[in-house]
Amino acid sequence: MAAEVVNEHVRYEPEDKPPPLIALGAGAQAAMLIVAPVVLTVVIVVRIADASDSYLTWGVFAAMVVCGISTVLQAARVGRIGSGHVLIMGTSGAFIAVCVAALDLGGPATLASLVVVSSLFQFLLAARLSLLRRIFTPVVTGTVIMLIAVTVAPIIFGSLTDVPDGTDDLAAPLAAGVTLLVVGGMVLRAPSSLRLWSPVIGIVAGCAVGAPFGIYDTGAIADAAWVGVPFRDWPGFDVTPGPEFWALLPAFIVVTLVGAIETIGDGVAIQRVSRRRPRATDFRVVQGALNADGVGNLLSGLGGTLPNTTYSTSISLAEVTGIGARRVGVIIGVIILTLAFFPKFAALLIAIPSPVAAAYLLVLISLLFVQGMRIVVQDGVDHRKATVAGVAFWVGVGFQSEMIFADLLGDGFLGILLGNGMTAGAIVAVAMMVFLELTGPRRKQLRVDMDEFTLQRLGVFLRVFGANAGWSPDSAERLVLVGEETLASMADGGEAPEGRRRLVVTARSVGGDAELEFVSAAEGENLEDRLAYQGENPEITDGREISFRLLRHLSSSVSHQKYHGVDVVAVRVAARQGGEDGG
């Protein structure tokens, strides 16, 4: 019997309830790390666009409020909104270029309109995610996650030396070095009970080293108000968009969809690092993450601030601390929301020296890069997937480093769109997957109602498919058996919804094997998890497990993707098995 794989680093799973002190401590240190980039992204955009100080004040306040609310939604999961995992929301760096252009050309009201309209596409993508399952594959999402690390890395490297003029040359390297040594050492060697405090301990150590050099800015803390709500600075909303709105809308939609791909990747990755025992990806979690992301962007637009996105550092934080409890996600959101009304406390966190914050973020993006690579590899890598991942990744790196056609792109639409490595790489990855899908072997399809004649029709369909593919009669009958057991396993996985159910079965030949896909509306446990369970338990304790065992024995691979209202089971069957003679 194979040994069960257990991730011992996970101390608290999403449903667990850690002690209040641990939950509050983990939430506070995560909020401390997130507030600074949330605020700084707004500051960067407003200052580059040369907008007013009053709008900057409002933009920071609104961004923190929206980030807090959407982070709580992600963790708490209200209906189909939220992932039910610790996915921290924050202002999106991918939108910096297009938001600057919107502020320059139309002002804050135009920016608000663009963000609201583009957010609607995230809800549409979440609702239709099952239809795009062959495009937004683990190869695409894993590659985008790796490119997130690539796009953030230059900012982090620049921040490592970002200190005020006249500061001692040793200030930055000493503060960053101590932070990196403390955090890295604790992640590598500290016991699990102490490891979850590594972020705050490392940052405090770095600040303590940097303070004597004067790089911890206490002046900004002293000047900040204790309590403040800048309602009078709300920029309003443009209900009569002009030409600049329509000129920028395509770029906003594209960047929104690219950000959605990032959220898909984060929704997949957070499930992998939040469980002690590996489970198949639940795409209902991903749909919930996309819906919460859409709510965050909608609120951002109505509030007149920058769009939201899931922060991929959530995955690294969960991996470092071993905490995936959704209670911690709620605490993080509440703290960020509360800090919005207390500018002095926010200033205390923002005052953390850039070299210290950058040193810790360097650990996080390193783990994030490996997590993306792991998602690509665990899906199985053939020459096609390797080409998609490799080409998309290096194209993204090339555009990010301005090594590809930088002079030709300029500062126009293409320059804004492709200037971000994550955006460029994601477009290439999606385009290559679309090409593979359009040029792949033609799929045969069966559409039937689920009734007493379904098995008979399925058998006829698969026998005809096997004969046309040149399979021997024995191999074709095994294909029929796989289809019957897959259907039986799907039916046993949960109760069918009320009303008539439809079943769509597609089949195609790939390299001599058969790829079958069953799409139904069942809701139940995941077949991949059930099949893995069968591999660990030799005794049959339930009569329905016979179907799971037969399916596991007869098929080369089984994947099960669960969406709201839709189940998709993909099964690969070899043309010959054992001593059979294949056609």
State the Cα–Cα distance between residues 425 and 448, nearest whole angstrom.
39
Model confidence, pTM: 0.69
pLDDT value at residue 581 = 47
Summarised one tens digit per residue, pLDDT across range 102-145 is 888 888 888 899 999 999 988 988 888 877 777 878 888 788 87
> Residue 388's pLDDT band (boundaries 50, 70, 90)?
very high
* Domain architecture of the chain: domains with CATH: 20-378 (no CATH), 444-573 (3.30.565.10)
Quote the percentage of the chain above a pLDDT of 90.
15
Is pLDDT above 60 for 208? yes
CA 245 to CA 111: how far, in whole Å? 8
Per the prediction, the chain carries an average pLDDT of 79
Q: How far is CA 327 from CA 25, 87, 290, 324, 477, in A?
A: 12, 12, 20, 9, 51
Task: Give the model's pLDDT for residue 524.
Answer: 52
C-alpha–C-alpha distance, residues 35 and 79, integer Å: 27
pLDDT of residue 298: 94
Average pLDDT, stretch 408-429? 73
pLDDT confidence of residue 337: 92
Collapsed DSSP state (helix, strand, coil) of residue 91:
strand
318 and 324 in contact (C-beta within 8 Å)?
yes
Angle between helix axes 473-492 and 454-468 (nearest 10 degrees) is: 140
Rounded CA-CA distance 465/449 in Å is 20
Comparison of pLDDT for 486 and 177, the residue scoring more:
177
Cα–Cα dist 330/23, whole Å: 10
Residue type at 354 in one-letter notation = S
pLDDT in tens, 1-33: 344 556 667 788 888 888 888 889 888 888 877
**Residue that wins the pLDDT comparison between 217 and 57:** 57
Q: What's the whole-number mean pLDDT along residues 389-396?
A: 92
Residue of 350 and 46 predicted with greater confidence: 46
Q: Judge whether residue 527 has pLDDT over 70.
A: no
| Better pLDDT: 196 or 105 | 105
Q: How confident is the model at residue 548 (pLDDT cuts 50, 70, 90)?
A: low
